[in-house]
Every structure is written in structure tokens, then in C-alpha cells.
């Protein structure tokens, strides 16, 4: 399944890059990152020096039809397999419009649209270098491979997703532990859970469909959303992959007024695997609160995290300053602390001009 998916998505990307009429060419955008971090400990997972290049390719020949590909190249492959170069997201999109509503259908491999933190293009976080434990986990272990349908009407939204893959979703928090990072798993990549088994967003091992549903409302300043997901995994081991049956709820919201942004999300639910016929259950949870203030050429953000791996609870505090001297260039410094340990991160980002 993994190899077939990689080939299918690659063909899709090449077709998208080549397709277009003279007046409807694809739009290329993205950014390059160069970052450094102090010695990683506990939840602070990062290479001492790492570089990334992320590119988005969007082709919308009409408001009713379009496609998107998110490509990633990076130096921080770590101990993962096939994680240096690949695709984070790729989908085709169709839209039906009426006077007050829109029905959007997407098919492919895609980020589940729940985050109030990673809200920029290419699922980028505009507030901090690292994302919260909640969204770091979703970026590492969740990427539905299927069909997502969303209905919008006068600020209200209802959505549902049917997907394959994600059978190992739930492995990282109870085994490796929660993390604060900005490294998202690619299609076909295998991320180590421990020295013997891996997790993968795209591997399909038990031939079961997972599902998710959500509903929300967006006003002038305030947005609210509730989401539920069940990956319907069998919880069994398949070679170097161990399935986890995971169900969770997410409640989130964001408030924006002037230069201020506030956001918060909370996730909770059980995850289990089957060992020698016995279910081993962990009730995991993660919550964050974010406060951010934008200035003429910069931004300062504060985030507090609380997360539980089913046995132990921990907290983290993060303070980030971003300086943006030009539209394309951004420099950032961040300090995070948790459990008596701390990490300092620095980052330089250059945004590629859309073409």
C-alpha cells in the first residue's frame, strides 16, 4: 500500500505541475527554513541544525474545480524511513455554490481541518516555531487518505471524512511520549515508535475504513469547532507496524481582534493495542492555550500546553518572538520549558514569491 500510494501521489503531482491552459497555470508558492535547536530532551524533539524546503502547487482552472500538492524536502530525516523527500498533502477539490452556501469535496491525502494553530498555507504555524503537543501529534500521526466533504452556510460548517491508512494512529503519545515540533510526516514515511516498530500515516494494514465528523461556526471575530475521529483499527501488529485503535474528540476555538489572536484546543480519547489477545488501553489527552500579539514588523506569542500519555501528565510553556523585516524574510527565537528541562530554538525563514 505504501509504495502504491507514493507512486500514485507522485504521478498526481507531475500531472498537476504540467496541467494548465495558457491563462490558468498552476501557482507555485512555499518557503525555505533554516533552524537550530539546543540539545533535545523529553518532549523537545529537534535536530541541532536542520533545513527544509516546502512548496505548494495549486491549480484552480475554475472556482468549481482545483487541485493542491504540498511537497517537502528536508535534512532532518532522523531515524525515520523515507522521510527526507516526499509529499505531505495532495488532493483534488470540487465545489458547488448557491447564493448562501458552498459544498466542498476533497479527495486524496490531506490534513484534517481542525487546527486553530496551524492555519497558514502548507499547514504552517504563523505564531510559534514549534507547534503545540496536540497539533504536533496530528502532524506526525494523522493524515486521512480518502474523501472529505464540507458544507458551509452563513458561518456554519458541517464536515465528514472517510479514510484509509492511519491504522497506527495513537502509538506515539503512550510509547514515545508527546512532542513539541514542526516536522510533519510524509506519505510513505515510517516514524519510529521505539527500536522495533514504526508508525505511518499512509500504511493500510487491516482493510478497515476510518471516519471523522465535525461541526463549527465562524463569526466576525470568534470561531468554534467540535470534531470526532475513529480510525477503527484492529490494534494488531503487522511486521514493523503496530496498529492502535484510536478515538478522540477535539474542541477548539479562536478569537481575533485587531492585532491580538487567542486560540485554544483540547483533545481527549482512548487508544489501545492488542498484545497476546489482551487490550492495553491508554487514555490520552492534550490541551493548549495560545495568545499572540502582532506588531508592524514582528509578533510575540505565548503558549501553554498540558498533555497526558495515559499515566503521567506534564505541562510546557513556550515564548516566541518573530521579526519580519520584509514580507519574504522572517527570523524567530523561541524558548520552551517543561518538566525541569528547556530548549531554545532559532529559525530563519524565506518565503518564496507565488508564481
In SS3 terms, 66-96 reads as EEEEEEEEECCCCCCECCCEEEEEEEEEEEE
Count of CA atoms in the C-beta half-sphere (13 A) of 155: 8
Q: Residue 10 pLDDT > 70, yes or no? A: no
The rounded mean pLDDT for the chain is 93
Higher-pLDDT residue of 53, 11: 53
Cβ within 8 Å of residue 8, ≥6 positions away: none
Q: Strand 329-338 vs strand 156-164: parallel, antiparallel, or unpaired? A: unpaired
Q: Assign 120 to helix, strand or coil.
A: strand
What per-residue confidence (pLDDT) applies to 20?
A: 45
What per-residue confidence (pLDDT) applies to 22?
A: 44
Q: Strand 210-218 vs strand 245-257: parallel, antiparallel, or unpaired? A: unpaired
Region 193-219 average pLDDT: 96
| Position 186 confidence tier, pLDDT thresholds 50, 70, 90 | very high
Q: Residue 155 pLDDT > 70, yes or no? A: yes
Q: Residue 221 pLDDT > 90, yes or no? A: yes
What per-residue confidence (pLDDT) applies to 12?
A: 54
Higher-pLDDT residue of 5, 73: 73
Per residue in 101-129, pLDDT tens? 999 999 999 999 999 999 999 999 999 99
Give the residues across from 124 on adjacent strands: 120
Residue 314: which CATH number?
2.40.160.10
Name the residue range of residue 51's domain: 2-352
Cα-Cα-Cα-Cα dihedral of 9, 77, 57, 202, to 10°? 30
Each as own residue / partner, the long-range contacts of residues 350-354 (CB below 8 Å, 24 or more positions apart, any chain) are: 350/31, 350/32, 351/30, 351/31, 351/327, 352/28, 352/29, 352/30, 352/31, 352/32, 352/55, 352/328, 353/29, 353/328, 354/27, 354/28, 354/29
* Confidence (pTM): 0.93
Per-position DSSP letters for 261-288, written without gaps between them = EEEEEEEEEEEEEEETTEEEEEEEEEEE
Region 63-77 average pLDDT: 94
Looking at the structure of the chain, the number of domains it has is 1
Q: Which of these, 87, 34, 30, lies nearest to 55 by C-alpha position?
A: 30
Distance CA 220, CA 232 (A): 37
What per-residue confidence (pLDDT) applies to 39?
A: 80
Q: Residue 21 pLDDT > 70, yes or no? A: no
Residue pair 345/25 in contact by the 8 Å Cβ criterion: no
Q: Residue 336 pLDDT > 70, yes or no? A: yes
Burial level of 14, CB count in 10 A (0-12/13-18/19+)?
exposed
Q: Which of 19-28, 204-213, 217-226, 298-307 has the lowest mean pLDDT?
A: 19-28
Give the residues across from 351 on adjacent strands: 31
Residue pair 91/70 in contact by the 8 Å Cβ criterion: no
Q: Which of these, 194, 198, 201, 196, lies nearest to 169 by C-alpha position?
A: 201
What per-residue confidence (pLDDT) applies to 339?
A: 79
What per-residue confidence (pLDDT) applies to 1?
A: 44
| Total count of residues recorded for the chain | 355
Percentage of residues of the chain with pLDDT beyond 90: 87
Q: Which of 2-11, 52-61, 162-171, 214-223 has the lowest mean pLDDT?
A: 2-11
Count of CA atoms in the C-beta half-sphere (13 A) of 227: 23
Amino acid at each position: 500500500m505504501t509504495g502504491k500510494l507514493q507512486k500514485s501521489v507522485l504521478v498526481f503531482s507531475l500531472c498537476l505541475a504540467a496541467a494548465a491552459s495558457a491563462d490558468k497555470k498552476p501557482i507555485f508558492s512555499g518557503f525555505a527554513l533554516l533552524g537550530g535547536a539546543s540539545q533535545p530532551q523529553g518532549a523537545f524533539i529537534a535536530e541541532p541544525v536542520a533545513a527544509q524546503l516546502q512548496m505548494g502547487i495549486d491549480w484552480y482552472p475554475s472556482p468549481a474545480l482545483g487541485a493542491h500538492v504540498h511537497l517537502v524536502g528536508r535534512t532532518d530525516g532522523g531515524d525515520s524511513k523515507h522521510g527526507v523527500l516526499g509529499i505531505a498533502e495532495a488532493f483534488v477539490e470540487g465545489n458547488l455554490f448557491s447564493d448562501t452556501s458552498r459544498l466542498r469535496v476533497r479527495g486524496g491525502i490531506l490534513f484534517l481541518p481542525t487546527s486553530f494553530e496551524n492555519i497558514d498555507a502548507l499547514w504552517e504555524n504563523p505564531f510559534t516555531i514549534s507547534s503545540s503537543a496536540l497539533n504536533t501529534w496530528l502532524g506526525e500521526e494523522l493524515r486521512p487518505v480518502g474523501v472529505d466533504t464540507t458544507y458551509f452556510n452563513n458561518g456554519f460548517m458541517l464536515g465528514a471524512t472517510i479514510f484509509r491508512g492511519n491504522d497506527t494512529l495513537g502509538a506515539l503519545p503512550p510509547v514515545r511520549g508527546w512532542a513539541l515540533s514542526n516536522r510533519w510526516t510524509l506519505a510513505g514515511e515510517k516514524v519510529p515508535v521505539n527500536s522495533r516498530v514504526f508508525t505511518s500515516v499512509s500504511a493500510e494494514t487491516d482493510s478497515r475504513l476510518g471516519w471523522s465528523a465535525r461541526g463549527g461556526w465562524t463569526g466576525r471575530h470568534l470561531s468554534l469547532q467540535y470534531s470526532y475521529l475513529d480510525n477503527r483499527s484492529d490494534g494488531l501488529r503487522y511486521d514493523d507496524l503496530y496498529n492502535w485503535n484510536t478515538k478522540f474528540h477535539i474542541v477548539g476555538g479562536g478569537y481575533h481582534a485587531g492585532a491580538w489572536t487567542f486560540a485554544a484546543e483540547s483533545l481527549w480519547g482512548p487508544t489501545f493495542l492488542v498484545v497476546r489477545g489482551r487490550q492495553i488501553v491508554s487514555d490520552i489527552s492534550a490541551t493548549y492555550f495560545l495568545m499572540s500579539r502582532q506588531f508592524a514588523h514582528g509578533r510575540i506569542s505565548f503558549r501553554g500546553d498540558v498533555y497526558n500519555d495515559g499515566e503521567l501528565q506534564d505541562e510546557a510553556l513556550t515564548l516566541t518572538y518573530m521579526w519580519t523585516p520584509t514580507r519574504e524574510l522572517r527570523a524567530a527565537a523561541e524558548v520552551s520549558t517543561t518538566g525541569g528541562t528547556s530548549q531554545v530554538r532559532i529559525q530563519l525563514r524565506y518565503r518564496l514569491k507565488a508564481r
